[in-house]
Amino acid sequence: MSTSAYEKVAKCVEAIRAKTSFVPDVALVLGSGLGNYAENIKIEAEVSYSDIPGFPVSTVPGHAGKFIFGYVGDVKVVCMKGRIHFYEGYDIKDVVLPHRVMKMLGAKILFLTNASGGLGEGFGAGDLMLITDHVSMFAPNPLIGENIDEFGPRFPDMSNVYKKDLQDVIREVAKENGIDLKEGVYAQLTGPSFESPAEIRLLGKLGVSAVGMSTVNEAIAANHMGMRICGVSCISNLAAGLSDSPLSHEEVQEAADKAAPLFTKLVTESIKRFTI
């Protein structure tokens, strides 16, 4: 049942449908470094989060965010410019509400992007990493609570979240464009504090290659709904304890901005080649 959670999503969809009838095939979540990605979209419609009743809106002035509807090549996309993070204080269900909304609007593929701290062997700041799997147990699971049967089963399988065919497309595009694409497992922690060196050593022992504060809870909710998922992370810094400099948000943003042109190329060309 959980009608209220379902109805909250349905109401958001209804509000968006009152503004646009655009039906996207691909949903793209823009992480750090892809803030200007809209330049690559032939825009058909935009809907501000603040215009959607019940939609979580960032409390930080100027960071409200919006959905952008349009075309990447011939592919119909909806982009999330500005995502909601658990560390901002939102209920975990609100963090994944936008993804559920994008699925209900028609999106079949979810392309997740983010910035992260790298700990994989040979990783450096500015690298791009294909997410091949994730570790979720250090962050809250968005499916806790009554199951929303309209979305998916109580105990969804997570053995194949990041789809092989989408990964292959991204690898192929990287190769053709001379992008040294790393690969690995992404772990989400709650943040907002960065990790300690001891935590990073622990994560390394668990097989983690990159660590961040988003994405995994989104992938879990989208996989629950049957979306086909892929993800690329921009390694914006070496994780705590792996370099001499202390971590800062400014450093993360700067490195992500530097990687933006290649990141943009990889995302755009991959989307154009996806089989919907």
Active-site residues: which are they? 32, 63, 85, 87-88, 115, 213-214, 237, 249
For ligand HPA, which is the closer residue by CB, 22 or 194? Answer: 194
239 is an interface residue for ligand HPA by CB under 6 A? yes
Which amino acid type is present at position 58?
Answer: S
Distinct helix (H) and strand (E) counts, the chain: 7, 9
237 touches ligand HPA by CB under 6 A: yes
Beta carbon nearer to ligand HPA, 175 or 249: 249
Which of 127, 195, 199, 218 contacts ligand HPA by CB under 6 A?
195
Site string for ligand HPA, 80-119 (x = CB under 6 A): -----------------------------------xxx--
Only one of the segments 46-54, 78-86, 138-146, 234-242 lies at the binding site for ligand HPA (rule: CB under 6 A); that segment is: 234-242
Residue 153's Cβ-count burial label (10 Å; 0-12, 13-18, 19+) is exposed
Query: Which sign, positive or negative, has the C-alpha torsion 218, 110, 104, 54?
Result: positive
Look up residue 238 and give its two tokens: 């070496």
Q: Assess 208 for contact with ligand HPA (CB under 6 A).
A: no
Please state the closest distance from residue 2 (CB atom) to ligand HPA, in A: 31
Three state DSSP letters for 41-94: CEEEEEEEHHHCCCCCCCCCCCCCCEEEEEEECCEEEEEEECCCCHHHCCCHHH
199 binds ligand HPA (CB under 6 A): no
Closest residue to ligand HPA in the complex (CB)? 117
* Percent composition of the chain: helix, strand, coil (DSSP 3-state, to 5): 35, 25, 40
φ, ψ for residue 26, nearest 5 deg: -120, 135
Residue 136 makes contact with ligand HPA by CB under 6 A: no
215 lies in the binding site for ligand HPA (CB under 6 A): no
Q: Least distance from C-beta 208 to ligand HPA, angstroms?
A: 11
Q: Is 236 in the site for ligand HPA (CB under 6 A)?
A: yes
Closest CA to 113 of 229, 29, 183: 29
Q: Which residues bind ligand HPA (CB under 6 A)?
A: 115-117, 194-195, 211-213, 236-237, 239, 247, 252
